[in-house]
Amino acid sequence: MTNLKPLSEAAENSGYFNAFPDSDGTLRWSPLVIKFQDNFYSSLPISLLLQYLDWPTLTLRMAEFGVEGVAIGDIEIPTDEYGRLLINYLGPVKTFPHYSISDIIKGRLSPDTFKDKIVLVGATATGIYDLRVTPFSAVYPGVEIHATVIDNILHQNFLHQSSVTTLIDICSIIFLGLVIGIVVPRVKAVTGILLSFLVVVSFVVI
């Protein structure tokens, strides 16, 4: 699906804004590049940054397991194997300044407000249904998520999962799996159900 023809013809670049929440409905990842048929397409934040930074080279680094990372010029962006950036949310709604389109049209803001700035135009009203669940809020505007991704990349303010964290995750999965596989079958049904529930809760907390 493409944009409206007048907007597509006027724009120097374009990008997709697909969102893929985790199983709990929370949006933690931003897919930077998507492959469709034989072509790769960049997301809205990536496409915007390419133009803002005067068209540096966009590089997709591949490995045997999948995507190893994405680079915009000299900016190396860490991703998972699917080419997704773990979003480093900087705060609650309105961490970035919001301005009313009405105020802009009516000339209530100084032109210097937007001088040398990246400006994203988007809907924040509840009835528009462009609100997402994030670690900070259950009603977080989609346009501000794009702003967060752009800010993360520009300032190279990325979240990294250390090898220690990965090791802890693996050990936790093995330990909790052993608890369910060995202990639960040896106890009464009610106790087993309760224990299984506690194991799941423990894994989520860890």
Question: CA-to-CA distance for 84 and 70, rounded, in angstroms?
Answer: 9
- Please, which contacts does 167-170 make with residues 24 or more away whose CB atoms are closer than 8 Å? 168/206, 169/206
> Domain boundaries in the chain?
5-154, 163-205
Question: What pLDDT does 185 receive?
Answer: 75
Question: What pLDDT does 142 receive?
Answer: 94
Whether the Cβ atoms of residue 25 and residue 133 lie closer than 8 Å to each other: yes
Question: What pLDDT does 164 receive?
Answer: 61
pLDDT by residue (tens digit) across 56-109?
A: 999 999 888 889 899 999 999 999 999 999 999 999 999 999 999 999 999 999
Q: Percent of the chain having pLDDT more than 90?
A: 56
DSSP 179: I
- Asked if the model's pLDDT at residue 155 lies above 90, the reply is yes
Query: Phi first, then psi: what are they for 129, rounded to 5°?
Result: 65, 30
Q: Percent of the chain having pLDDT more than 70?
A: 87
- Asked if the model's pLDDT at residue 176 lies above 90, the reply is no
Q: What is the pTM of this model?
A: 0.77
Who wins on pLDDT, 3 or 14? Answer: 14
